[in-house]
Amino acid sequence: MSAAVRHTDVAAYALGLLEEPDRRAFEGHLPACPACRHELADLRGLAAVLKELPSFTG
């Protein structure tokens, strides 16, 4: 059902936007992919910054 994991999934994963099957698939991909692990660490900081926003409704 879920397509193959792509490296760009890391952003949706960091923001918590993936549904369960995709989320698990991406977590399966992580240990084998240093690039995604590195990028995830970066994007987590960004996700934290967005979370601090009071209420953005653009």
Token pair 């660490």 in the structure block, residue: 41
CB 42 within 8 A of CB 13: no
- The answer to the question of residue 52 lying near other proteins (CB under 8 A) is yes
* Pair of tokens at residue 49: 């910054």
Vertex 47 angle, CA 16 and 5, to 5°: 45
d(CA 46, CA 28): 23
- The answer to the question of residue 42 lying near other proteins (CB under 8 A) is yes
- The answer to the question of residue 50 lying near other proteins (CB under 8 A) is yes
- The answer to the question of residue 1 lying near other proteins (CB under 8 A) is no
Q: Which is nearer to other proteins, 34 or 45 (CB)?
A: 45
List interacting residues with other proteins (CB under 8 A): 3, 6, 8-12, 14-15, 17-19, 22, 42-43, 45-46, 48-50, 52-54, 56-58
